[in-house]
A and B are shown apart, each in its own frame.
Chain A
Amino acid sequence: MAALVELGHTAEIPAGGSFLVTEVGAAPIVTPETFTEEQRMYYRTAAQFTKEKVLTQAEAIERKNVAVLRGLLSEAGALGLLMIDVPEAYGGLGADKTTSMLVAEASSMLGSWSVTIGAHTGIGSLPIVWFGNAEQKARYLPKLATGEKVAAYALTETGSGSDALGAKTKAVLSADGKHYVLNGAKQFITNAAFADVFVVFAKVDGEKFTGFIVDRDTPGFSVGPEEHKMGIRGSSTCAIVFEDAKVPVENVLGEIGKGHRIAFNILNLGRLKLGVGVIGGMKHTLEAALRYAADRRQFKTPILQFGLIREKLARMATAIYAVESMAYRTAGLIDARLARHDKTAADYDQKTIEAIEQYAVEASILKVFGSEALGMVVDEAVQIHGGYGFTEEFPVERAYRDARINRIFEGTNEINRMLLVGMLLKKAMKGELPLLDFAQAIDEELMHRNLPRSSGGDELAEAALTAELVKRMAVYATKVAVETFGPEIEQHQEILGAIADVVMDAFALDSMIARTRQASADGALDPLRVAMVKHFALEAQPRSHERARRALMATAEGDALTTHLKKLALLDHFVPYQPTALRETIVQAAEHQGAYPFGY
């Protein structure tokens, strides 16, 4: 879907990370308001399936009834929910990424299901879609697309988690040259109990990191017992073991020694999908919280009427608006790039990988911001349920446990925070992102006290100014750190982490404001959306200032630090909106709908 092109954006498609160096609304963005009718239909089918078929069997799934889960995968396959990213030539839909994300969102109302279907369609199948040769694609994809076969992805080992390339599993070519003989073990493999196809990473001769497709019935391959997990208990997580497992040479995935390309590119999409996936969980949890708060009475009053409860609900709804705005903007950018290429061309897979890689910064932001927003939402939902939220009687108890894994897999949030700043710097060095020019421009602005001013144009003019200045805080702190430490900045994790936090809030603010303005292009801004932006800015702005200050304090000292902090203070644009009024606008809308107010 060339939604960006349809929005009239025919020129350059913004580069990854460019939100940081351009003004709010510099280019039109894809938002839920610009979804096509077809995309909405895809979403509805997936959401209806999750509600009617998955949630109704949640208990059986959580009790690890594998037959139920496997059956649901088949049913999902029959509906086409597993074929979105598979090319048409191999029995798939070859649909756009926005559709793929919408279905991921719809599937995430139950964590166990979300992880199961996500591991199959995403990290399990995509390596073959992107890196398989024609024969491998023909052999596997049609069956993966229908759910006849289930896929899994095996990268992690006991000794190598975050350090994924440190794998010990070894592959040696057999004497007759027909097989690679694999030895080693992989840890925490989703879907292992019933998957038929495993994408496995091993080092050829203990050196060359390489991908393999391993069939379940491979001699020497076995699956260990289920882990006993804190959450997503219905999903299968086991170790898999290779004892002289004979994998035919035809099953080498991609080139020998190029396994890292598979692993990293799959992670880029996985992070994006995780960031989108959480939206469904957040919406579902908000609905439960609204329902409970309306029903539960204390002091002869529904607790929904209490200010502190309403404040929580407003924060929950606002967080959803934030993640949604970033997520579909990013999916839309990828689709806009892909729309320029011929789906049937030989290099289309390569173009897909490049388009996704282009927005790896955004993907990491979504992974971190999304998983932490979900964490906040489930936590507050439990709080709203009081003691009952602590019992298995209510689904929020499960949601709370299920949410936790999202901060750990697909690269921990620590790894992703460092990575996203590192990637921004790399893009700047390569000349793909004018970060250094912008840093210089900020220096000039600060020197001449010539900072951006409020345009006074609309209700969001002040918030937009906040966004522009938060971007400057991030870039200023980055510049100072790079000047101070050079390449050694990598060793200063607290600085990277603090900068990452500011960058994330900048992206959120920018996306929310751009979306809000775009949603009401032909008239006054929608007061509800405006309230969400302001409500977010109330927390994001001071938080960003604090994090940028922290980065500077970890970078400089003495007079230099004093000077930096004074400059940073010039970028401090806090607007004291009336929080109770904002909260009321948001909660009344959510209360009226019994849900997040911008459903699709």
Chain B
Amino acid sequence: MKILVTAKRVEDPESKIKVKPDGTGIVQEGLKYKINPFDEIAVEEGLRLVAKHGGEVVVVSIGGKEVHEQLRHALAMGAHKAVWVNHTGPLDQMGVAGLLQKVVEKEKPDLVILGKQSIDDDQNQVGQYLAEWLGWGQATFASKAESFDSENEKNKVPALVVGADNKTVRVVREVDGGLATVECQLPAVVTTDLRLNQPRYASLPGIMKAKSKPIEELIPAGLGVDVTPKLTVTKMSAPPARKAGIKVPDVATLVEKLKTEAKVI
């Protein structure tokens, strides 16, 4: 099996994010970056499937040279090769999906696994666009029926189950109020939810091996994709600071305040 996974570079959630005073973006100085956590889960799931069915995991990232850091991380986790779409400047979800479509057409994977969303823009659209434009089946929000402490997770049994003939994939999806199981023809697009797996660490020998794994460079113009954004961010602002709480002397006052001030009951 050939599996294509994505590795977007996002701000490390442990970094403190500050919006620039003029609202044009965030202060980048001193920020740390990592693979979008949902994508990291996609990489992990790809590696587990390949461990079971054989084949290779190709990881792709779009961005400037700095995304090599995330590609190397995925390679250190065990991905076999990387594709770097060298693009700087603004890009909207359709631009991303368009570029990924070209990479898919070139790499011809049996399965594409992406994070359901990236934790910076939180759009939750790329996987869906990609499946639609490829004309492939899609299963979004892939999750797991069991807990992380289960024997299956400890033994790293994949949650996506590929049919014996390598023609279908069965996916447990997280939906409001429960889980739904769907089956797709391959090739297909799957997006991952948080509770799909626990990604492995990049081991030290893995990091050393990653050094010699190939990173192929592609440029948007060469792929024939127009990435002019249809969507632009006009302003960023921080959520209003939370007001300090108050202490109430008794339940009666609490009920009173909930009624008259908070107006929630």
Contact = CB atoms under 8 A, between A and B. Distances in A.
A37 B70 CA distance: 11
A38 B208 contact: yes
Chain A at the B interface: mostly helix, strand, loop or mixed? helix
Contacts of B68: 37
Nearest to B211: A38
Contacts of A84: 204
A487 interface: no
Contact of A93 (B16, B76, B208, B210): B208
Interface residues of A, number: 23
A42 B201 contact: no
Interface residues on B, range: 20 to 34
Interface string A62-101: 0000000000000000111101100000000101000000
B21 to A, nearest CB: 13
A264 B99 CA distance: 59
A93 to B, nearest CB: 6
Choose among B18, B69, B76, B207 the residue with the greatest number of A CB atoms under 10 Å from its CB: B207
A576 interface: no
Contact of A80 (B15, B72, B203, B210): B203
Contacts, number: 52
A37 B202 contact: no
Contacts of A177: none
A592 B16 contact: yes
A370 to B, nearest CB: 24
B52 interface: no
A38 B210 CA distance: 9
A37 B208 CA distance: 11
Contact of B73 (A41, A589, A594): A41
A83 B204 contact: yes
B89 interface: no
Nearest to A94: B208
Chain B at the A interface: mostly helix, strand, loop or mixed? helix
B16 A41 contact: no
B201 A48 contact: yes
A599 interface: yes
A592 B205 contact: no
B51 to A, nearest CB: 16
A45 interface: yes
Given A592-B30, A593-B15, A41 B205 contact: no
Contacts of A49: 201
Interface string A573-600: 0000000000000000100111001010
B15 A42 contact: no
B59 to A, nearest CB: 15
Given A37-B72, A594-B16, A93 B204 contact: yes
Contact of B32 (A37, A78, A599): A599
A38 B76 CA distance: 10
B208 A597 contact: no
A393 B86 CA distance: 50
Interface string B213-237: 0000000000000000000000000
Given A38-B208, A79-B203, A95-B208, 9 more contacts: A38-B211, A42-B207, A45-B202, A79-B204, A83-B204, A93-B204, A93-B205, A95-B204, A594-B16
Interface of A: 37-38, 40-42, 44-45, 48-49, 78-81, 83-84, 93, 95, 589, 592-594, 597, 599
